[in-house]
Amino acid sequence: MATAHSRTAARLMISPAVLLLLAWMIVPLSMTIYFSFLSYNLLSPGTEEFIGLLNYEYFLTDPAFFAALGNTLLLVGGVLVITTVGGVLLALLLDQPMWGQGIVRILVIAPFFVMPTVSALVWKNMFMNPVSGLFAYGASAIGIEPFDFLAHAPLFSIIVIVAWQWLPFATLILLTALQSLDSEQLEAAEMDGASKISRFFYMVVPHLSRAVTVVILIQTIFLLSVFAEILVTTNGGPGTASTNITFLVYAQSLLQFDVGGGSAGGIVAVILANIVAIFLLRMIGKNLEA
């Protein structure tokens, strides 16, 4: 068993990681909280003053906030629906015997490794551009008017781009989960006369549901912070049509230099993410005990 000596050593070995993360969490976060109570604009330094909850009041009653909140929910929800439904179907397909499975897997997983700025630019210019994009050629080839995706359906376009990036992630995780299903158990059930359908619903679905939950929770964490795709394609526009909370906070603080308001927005974003995080942590914690 561990001796007192090795326990001290163990504590020493953990401490750098813990202290660094503690500092990374506490220092900037408490600064954000502090700023959120100030009237603080980078353009007029030295005029900071305490204004209580006024920043929150402004931020939370700003029409842009409601637009951004709605957009965030649509973006996260839309991408989640596409990637989990698509991911389950694709994982079930890829789990079947076929020729060239390894190569198909590689093709499907590839978009996940493309950096967000590249995928956003490629989709924006080479596919969604109303003049020279591939979709425009396709439209004119079949005789319909090309559609300016990013101008007329900016949020939808961004959902498509982000879903393309995350579908591989969902597929890969669900496929891994599917392949870890004990095939002997499945065969035993088959021998016992369980039909294909009941095998699917009583064995595969329960096994997959855990992985689906993990996919949903992890993606939500990342999707709440989608930023580069919006910056590169629409810059949040037109108006606030494709602004999410992350982009709104960025715009308020680094484009309008309103540190106070931006900080209040940042704290709102932290609270929203925490709601998701609590569920995710509980789930992973349970797994740690198992």
Partner 1 sequence: MARAVTTRRKAVVTACAWAIGLTIFFPILWTVLTSFKTEAQAIADPPTLLFFQWTTENYSEVLERSNYFRHFANSVIISVGSTILGLIIAIPAAWSMAFVPAKRTKDVLMWMLSTKMLPPVGVLIPIYLIFRDTGLLDSRIGLVVVMTLINLPIIVWMLFTYFKEIPGEILEAARMDGATLWSEILYVLTPMAVPGIASTMLLNIILAWNEAFWTLNLTTTNAAPLTAFIASYSSPEGLFYAKLSAASAMAIAPILIMGWFSQKQLVRGLTFGAVK
Positions in 158-197 near partner 1 (CB under 8 A): 164, 167-169, 172-173, 176-177, 180, 187
Q: Of 105 and 194, which CB lies nearer to partner 1 in the complex structure? A: 105
Tokens of 84: 């989990």
Number of residues that bind partner 1 (CB under 8 A): 108
d(CA 241, CA 237): 5
Any idea which residue has 């990681």 for tokens? 17
The interface with partner 1 within residues 214-233 (CB under 8 A) comprises 214, 218, 221, 224-225, 227-228, 231-233
**87 near partner 1 (CB under 8 A):** no
Q: Which stretch binds partner 1 (CB under 8 A): 59-67, 77-85, 195-203, 264-272?
A: 264-272
d(CA 125, CA 35): 39
Could you give phi then psi for residue 50, rounded to 5 degrees? -75, 125
Q: Of 24 and 50, which CB lies nearer to partner 1 in the complex structure? A: 24
Looking at the DSSP assignment, which residues form a beta bridge with residue 256?
A: none
Which of 13, 81, 85, 255 is close enough to bind partner 1 by CB under 8 A? 13
Which of 49, 61, 141, 142 is close enough to bind partner 1 by CB under 8 A? 141
Looking at the DSSP assignment, which residues form a beta bridge with residue 128?
A: none
Which of 127, 135, 147, 200 is close enough to bind partner 1 by CB under 8 A? 127
Which of 53, 81, 134, 255 is close enough to bind partner 1 by CB under 8 A? 134
Any idea which residue has 């349970």 for tokens? 286
213: exposed, middle or buried (Cβ count in 10 Å: 0-12, 13-18, 19+) = middle
Q: CB-based contacts of 158: which residues, under 8 Å, 6+ apart?
A: 75, 226, 229, 230, 233, 234, 242
Q: Which among 155, 148, 152, 151 is positioned nearest to 131, based on CA atoms? A: 148
d(CA 198, CA 87): 21
Which of 85, 118, 205, 255 is close enough to bind partner 1 by CB under 8 A? 118
Which of 63, 100, 143, 193 is close enough to bind partner 1 by CB under 8 A? 100
Q: Of 68 and 155, which CB lies nearer to partner 1 in the complex structure? A: 68
Binding-site string for partner 1 from residue 35 to residue 64, where x marks contact by CB under 8 A and - marks none: x-----------------------------
Task: State in angstroms the smallest separation of the CB of 278 from partner 1.
Answer: 9
